Amino acid sequence: MTPNNNDSIVARAAIYVRVSSTGQMGRDGDEDGYSIPAQLAANKRKAEDLGAEIAKAYVERAESARSDDRPVLQQMLKELPGLGVQYLIVHKVDRLARNRLDDAMLYQRLQEMGITLVSASENIDETPAGRLMHGMLATFAEYYSSNLASEVKKGLHQKHRQGGTPFRAPIGYLHHRTLVEGHDVRTVVVDPERAPLVQLAFELYASGEWSLVPLTAQLEAQGLVSRPTPKRPAHPLGVSAIHRILTNPYYVGLVQYTGETRIGRHEPLIDQDTFDRVQGCSSLVVMANGPASTSTTCEGRWCVRSAAADCCSAVTGAGAATTNTSRA
């Protein structure tokens, strides 16, 4: 592909950088951490080597490249034709895409715009050898992404089998990281700010004197809000969120994941009797939208129907004798 420039016009380039997780951001007081500045610096050096001025730099924060449905990427593709650029510079091709189909489609779109894709750290020029290298790199990136997803899934299942929490802990808990003898240990701890309000929600609803709508308003007045995220600030919880809290067996110490229930290592916020009484409220059962949130009796206890057998065996049956009940 031949750039749309001539000797009388200075070449122009756009830059695209990406990090796939918040773990690569927010280090040493810099919200972008190390990866984004390093990618920008390498791409700018490449632009200098090409004798190109930088028209615009696009920064994609905490977005996976397994799909091209990324806000900054889509914005860039819309704006590139109007920028008059001859080059799009990335640090590596896997910053742009991590599957071969998306890579090929993005490459074709750039060709149609008359823009050359340039890697700051890989030789993917328009020679046959460069195109072969580009295809191989795209294949390696797809393999790496697929293999990583498989290993992560395997690790999450193992974590669940050991009583850990393989997902974002619900309101009332916080994820905690600490170093123990040089090892990074991740646990779930009680949120001192929100846990008392979660307990209040169960106590009020179990009394039989509160329905979901006024209870939601009362909890908002008491200050119950969601945990903030990098993309969304804390906000009051709606009725559906309160319903999910009241039907979640995580609060009595059970962890449900992929259809299996285990006794968790986290500290329960609610005793079994209070949880049972809440599940017995007819309005809570009526509002349930599916088997995973509908309650039913099981050996005198209220359990989540989709895991009723596991729940009851773990809590009241013989299965408890063989289940690790430690809550470290």
Of 74-78, 140-144, 178-182, the range with the lowest mean pLDDT is 140-144
For 212-247, give the secondary structure using H, E and C.
Answer: HHHHHHHHHHHCCECCCCCCCCCCECCHHHHHHHHC
DSSP SS3 for 12: strand
Rounded to whole angstroms, the Cα distance separating 268 from 127 reads 62
Pick the CATH number of 11-159 from 2.60.40.1840, 3.30.1540.20, 3.40.50.720, 3.40.50.1390: 3.40.50.1390
pLDDT of 117 strictly over 80 = yes
Q: Which pLDDT belongs to residue 270?
A: 96
Q: Which pLDDT belongs to residue 231?
A: 80
Q: Which pLDDT belongs to residue 64?
A: 60
CATH code 3.90.1750 region(s) in the chain: 194-322
For the chain, percent of residues with pLDDT exceeding 70:
76
pLDDT of 120 strictly over 50 = yes
pTM score: 0.55
pLDDT, tens digit, for every residue of 11-62? 999 999 988 754 444 443 334 435 889 999 999 999 999 999 999 999 998 6
Rounded to whole angstroms, the Cα distance separating 217 from 220 reads 5
Report, at the CATH architecture level, how domain 194-322 is classified.
Alpha-Beta Complex (3.90)
Of 48-57, 87-96, 120-129, 318-327, the range with the lowest mean pLDDT is 318-327
CATH code 3.40.50.1390 region(s) in the chain: 11-159
Q: Which pLDDT belongs to residue 285?
A: 54
Using pLDDT thresholds of 50, 70 and 90, give the confidence band for residue 229.
confident
Q: Tell me the longest C-alpha to C-alpha distance in the chain.
A: 85
DSSP SS3 for 113: coil
Average pLDDT, the chain: 79
The mean per-residue pLDDT over the stretch 172-192 comes to: 89
Higher pLDDT, 281 or 58: 58
The mean per-residue pLDDT over the stretch 278-282 comes to: 80
For residue 239, which of 184, 209, 283 has the smallest C-alpha distance? 283
Q: Which pLDDT belongs to residue 8?
A: 54
pLDDT, tens digit, for every residue of 53-97? 999 999 998 666 455 678 999 999 999 999 999 999 999 888 888
Higher pLDDT, 282 or 132: 132
The mean per-residue pLDDT over the stretch 104-117 comes to: 90
13 touches 52 (CB < 8 A): yes
Rounded to whole angstroms, the Cα distance separating 322 from 328 reads 17
The mean per-residue pLDDT over the stretch 173-201 comes to: 91
Q: Which pLDDT belongs to residue 21?
A: 57
| Tokens found for residue 89 | 């510079």
For residue 212, which of 180, 242, 250 has the smallest C-alpha distance? 242
The mean per-residue pLDDT over the stretch 159-187 comes to: 90
